[in-house]
Amino acid sequence: MWVDPFSLRLESPLGTAAGEITERRGFLIGLGEGEIRGVGEATPLPGWTESYEACRSALDEVTEAVSTDPISEVETPDPTETPAAAHGVDLATLDAVARRDGRPLAAVLRERGFDADEPISDSVPVNATIGDGTVEETVDAATAAVEEGFDWLKLKVGVGEPEEDLTRVQAVHNAVDDGVSLRLDANGAWDRSTARRLVDRLAETGIGYLEQPLPAEDLAGLAELRGRGVDIAVDESLAATSVEAVVEAVAADVVVIKPMAVGGPSRAVELAAVARSAGVEPVVTTTVDSVVARTAAVHVAAAIPNVTACGLATGWLLAADLAADPVSISDGRASLPAGYGLGDGFDAVRRGRADL
Ligand SMILES: O=C(O)CCC(=O)c1ccccc1C(=O)O
Ligand SMILES: [Mg+2]
């Protein structure tokens, strides 16, 4: 197994209530020999995953342990301690095995929790991701996204004053037509009383869902916000607690599953199945990753039958990437790439530094 560090700058910072994301640093991971090779990506994002250093140490340990049979012998790092490292190894293994068996990654993942007989769709619906900004910037970004064919928009909120957010949301609502749904993501910024007040105002406007209005640990507060006319989604709460705890606390209508944050594509699909069987709708998103992990997240979404719009249209946020993007985004949908494993188009990154 080889591990190669990379660093990619964002085209412009993504403003969130948890801070600005300006750069993504991570590791490409490769394993296999000859024709059977797989590639994975570990791109930690503190707040959702372990630190960069903890990720590197976890991957170093795996590299030291790997001996002769790289595909079956690789042990995945602990998905709760070092989810990004676990994601990288899980993905590289899945890609190699799926390619060996001549199957797309989505088909392999489907078996981790859903009915394998239902056909896998060749594309999944996606939302546009719009960072914090002024009212005018937000409306411009929203109308541009709608022109590109998106009918789900996710706006970051909770950075500025709540009243300003309401103005931004109302302005976007007025600027787009009725077929466009808005999602809002506060990244845990509000306290209970602010969130309660905003939910009541947002219920009048009508929005698709409000993501992480309260701090990650406040499952009781989230449960109280439900049923007031706005669906509640949790994201950070999954890393802070668990899907089971969220279900138990009836804290969410929707769970936002980030494969990078939950320890890999396999676990992401398993958790999606747990959520759906409890009546909580799973949504899959990236953590603003390179093309390798973004494509994996598209396969994860496609493994979930009739998945709702996912946060997978994040490639445009990066100023550069590790390979050409095999996923096309049009009419608000992300296409599944052709080929086996992650798909065609990754041959150069799969070869990497072939040091096995
Ligand atoms: O969901 C999306 O539209 C894209 C992903 C996204 O918003 C995100 C990206 C990186 C880190 C955190 C988040 C988030 O959902 O809070
Ligand atoms: Mg979020």
Query: Rg of the chain's alpha carbons, rounded to an integer?
Result: 20
What residue type is 164 in one-letter code? E
- Out of 24, 110, 112, 156, the active site residue is 156
Quickly state the pLDDT bin for 64 (edges 50, 70, 90): confident
Task: Count Cβ atoms within 10 A of the Cβ of residue 201 and give its class: 0-12 exposed, 13-18 middle, 19 or more buried.
Answer: middle
- Out of 56, 110, 168, 258, the active site residue is 258
Quickly state the pLDDT bin for 293 (edges 50, 70, 90): very high
Identify the DSSP state of 120: P
pLDDT of residue 150: 98
What average pLDDT score do residues 221-249 get? 97
**Ligand sitting nearest the alpha carbon of 183:** 1
Strands (E) across the chain are located at 2-16, 19-33, 36-42, 123-125, 128-130, 152-156, 181-185, 209-211, 232-234, 254-257, 281-284, 329-330, 333-335
| Residue from 50, 53, 51, 77 nearest 64 by CA | 77
HSE at residue 37, side-chain half, CA atoms within 13 A, is 21
pLDDT in tens, 1-11: 999 999 999 99
Kindly state if the Cβ of 43 falls inside 6 Å of ligand 1.
no
What average pLDDT score do residues 44-62 get? 96
Active site residue 258: yes
pLDDT of residue 65: 74
- Cβ count within 10 A of residue 279: 9
- Which atom of ligand 1 sits closest to the CA of residue 129? 3
pLDDT in tens, 294-324: 999 999 999 999 999 999 999 999 999 999 9
Range in 60-69, 139-148, 281-290 the model is least confident about: 60-69
The rounded distance, in Å, linking the Cα atoms of 299 and 308 is 14
Quickly state the pLDDT bin for 355 (edges 50, 70, 90): very low
pLDDT of residue 63: 87
Helix axis angle, 265-277 to 83-100, nearest 10°:
100
HSE at residue 16, side-chain half, CA atoms within 13 A, is 20
Range in 59-63, 67-71, 265-269 the model is least confident about: 67-71
Note the Cα 141 to chain centre separation in Å.
21
Given a cut of 60, is residue 67 above it in pLDDT? no
First and final C-alpha spacing in the chain: 6
Cα 187 to ligand 2 centre (Å): 6
Kindly state if the Cβ of 237 falls inside 6 Å of ligand 1.
no
pLDDT in tens, 176-208: 999 999 999 999 999 999 999 999 999 999 999
Ordered by where they begin, the domains of the chain are: 2-103+346-351 (3.30.390.10), 123-335 (3.20.20.120)
